[in-house]
Amino acid sequence: MSDILDIVSVRLDDENDALILLDQSRLPNEVIYHQYKTVEQIFDAIVTLQVRGAPAIGIAAAYGCYLAVKSKTELTHEQFLSFFAKIKDYLASSRPTAVNLFWALNRMERCCVENKHKKVSEIIALLKTEADRIRQEDEAVCYAIGEHALSLLSGNMGLLTHCNAGTLATAKYGTALAPMYLGQQRGYGFRVFADETRPLLQGARLTVWELAQAGIDVTLICDNMASIVMKQGLIDAVLVGCDRVAANGDTANKIGTSGVAILAKHYGIPFYVCAPLSTIDIQTPTGKDIEIELRKAEEITSAWYQKPMAPADVKSYNPAFDVTDAQLITAIITDKGILYPPFDISIQELMKGSN
């Protein structure tokens, strides 16, 4: 296996007061790292998908909070907490669907509040520790998801994945790709089919690049080819990531995921959602309550082409996510174990046990 798992897509350069991000919008043709020193730059990096993937966004936001307040030692406690709240709200407005963003920001805020009796300089140091902990925990979480997922798979399986839920989108290993990396290390010989996941082509640009770098047998297909490879018996299981899990088990993921789930149900193929515990949002009753991010028309009409591929001024509808209904999901694989239907009950039991 190559050193693909050694790639760190989000890291803090504390000495230079900067966040270092692998620019995922430039892959696979250019592997470029950028330095971000202001909260506005980090906000823009999240919006423009230079950093993407729910866990990676959460890590970036946590470090963004720390960097924004790092030099504010002269503020009073009241001024510091007020300033931090503004930074938190600003970063929270960058993308609405992935719950990890809000989960990470809430952890950073809780760190402030619980330590408000300490010196401002001490609170700032604790914020760095908390952001580091969020990154370190994510690596362990992804590894655990990989182990649990691997228990459901066997050697030489054909696997299909949608979007990018790999090491680029997390601290390491990924969620849906974690069992593929662990399986490669252990000689499982998986054959992976990655669809291109329009309109941003994360499958073609990111997933295929990652898996190929690791020496995994990977085949690129277009989104509308999922049905034929399933019908031909090439797919034994589908594994996808997740940006939010509602309390009833409905899941939000990259646009097109629900269509893959419907196909898998039709062909009798297990459909597994790989979701860190931090993506479970018990405050969201069902998928209908999840806010779906709408993105600019250019991503459909012109962003990936030398010339526009649609008539000028044509109306467009560009949701970034869709919701997969719980009844289409075989199991939700978390870092704390595998959840089975009925998900409203199994999620509730898991969350109680994790408190």
Q: Which residues are catalytic?
A: 243
Residue 287's nearest CA partner among 253, 260, 262, 259 is 253
Q: Is residue 29 helix, strand or coil?
A: coil
Here the tokens at position 27 are 């892959």
Secondary element (H or E) of residue 144: helix 120-150
Residue pair 49/57 in contact by the 8 Å Cβ criterion:
no
CB neighbour list of residue 124: distance below 8 Å, 6 or more residues apart:
66, 69, 70, 72, 73
Question: Do 11 and 64 meet the contact criterion of CB atoms below 8 Å apart?
Answer: no
Q: Which residues pair with 273 in a beta bridge?
A: 240, 332
Compute the distance between CA of residue 352 and CA of residue 355 in angstroms, rounded to an integer: 6
Cβ neighbours of 312 (radius 10 Å): 7
Which residue, among 35, 46, 12, has the nearest Cα to 135 in the 3D structure? 12
**Cα distance between residue 132 and residue 263, in whole Å:** 40
Q: How many residues does the chain have?
A: 355
337-339 and 331-334 as β-strands: parallel, antiparallel, unpaired? antiparallel
Q: What are the backbone dihedrals phi and psi of residue 196, each rounded to the nearest 5 degrees, phi first?
A: -80, -15
Question: Any idea what the Cα angle at residue 306 is, between residues 304 and 312, rounded to 5°?
Answer: 85
